[in-house]
Amino acid sequence: MAKYAKIPEATVRRLSNYLKCLIDLESRSEKVASSALIANLCNVNAPQVRKDFAYFGEFGIRGMGYNVKELKRHIKEILGINREWRIAVVGIGNMGSALLVYKDFLKQNYKIVAAFDIVPEKVIGHISERVGKPVEILHIDRLKEVIKARNVEIGIITTPPGAAQTVADLLIDANVKGILNFSPAPVKTPDHVKLRNLFFTSALDNLVYYMTN
């Protein structure tokens, strides 16, 4: 766990990248990795790697580097993905459908166990067939009941913007612990429900800014 009360958000984002690099190294049967190697793979510098890890303890051996398997385990524990997280997706349009068939979720212990939409049952059946039925798609009227029954902790919103806050409120009422909002409209949650609003256009705005300045 962290040695400090507040960890920079950028450090947490980099931890996820470090984990992906370590998984790649392990797949190549690499046993030990230096901070320089990790930095090169993750497009940062070695002092930054060491600083990020230092927030959580001393994981390496001076002059030798980091044990890849052990460091991967530590980062999973820090990120909280050393156990399964059960997810519900609300809004099964193009993005929601893509999330249902995204296989890398399982590699990181994320399991989609429920999916909801507001369209009539007949249309829901067609959606299920289109995405290969990775999980049963239910009417949103059953959201609270199913989330409780299936121990869902995270809700992902992929609805049109006008429905986003209503869906967020339904998820909050169903006692989810965190919400990831992909809708173009920002939503609000109480302090006890962790929230991330992710807007693709904002990321593009940021990219274009650096391309033009």
Amino acid 60: pLDDT? 74
Residues 6+ away with beta carbon under 8 Å from 53? 59, 60, 66, 71
Residue 131: which of 94, 186, 181 has the closest Cα? Answer: 94
Chain centroid to CA 122: how far?
Answer: 31
Q: Please tell me the pTM assigned to this model.
A: 0.86
- Location of each CATH 3.40.50.720 domain in the chain: 85-201
pLDDT at 78: 93
| pLDDT in the model for residue 123 | 59
d(CA 66, CA 182): 36
> What is the chain's length?
213
CATH architecture of 9-79: Orthogonal Bundle (1.10)
Q: For residue 156, what are the β-bridge partners?
A: 89, 180
Q: Which CATH number fits domain 85-201: 1.10.40.30, 3.40.50.720, 3.30.1330.90, 3.40.190.10?
A: 3.40.50.720
Report the alpha-carbon distance of residue 117 to residue 50 in Å, rounded: 45
φ, ψ at 174 (rounded to 5°): -85, 0
Burial class (CB in 10 A: 0-12, 13-18, 19+), 3: exposed
Distance (Å) of CA 14 to CA 7, 23, 44, 46, 98: 12, 14, 9, 13, 25
d(CA 28, CA 7): 31
Task: Give the pLDDT confidence score for residue 40 in this predicted structure.
Answer: 96
Residues of the chain with CATH 1.10.10.10: 9-79
Per-residue pLDDT of the chain (213 residues; tens, 9 = 90+): 555 568 899 999 999 999 999 999 999 999 999 999 999 999 999 999 999 999 998 887 777 889 999 999 999 999 999 999 999 999 998 899 889 888 888 778 999 999 999 986 655 666 666 666 668 889 999 999 999 999 999 999 999 999 999 999 999 999 999 999 999 999 999 999 999 999 888 888 888 988 998
The backbone torsions φ and ψ at residue 58, rounded to the nearest 5 degrees and listed phi first, read: -105, 105
C-alpha–C-alpha distance, residues 156 and 171, integer Å: 9
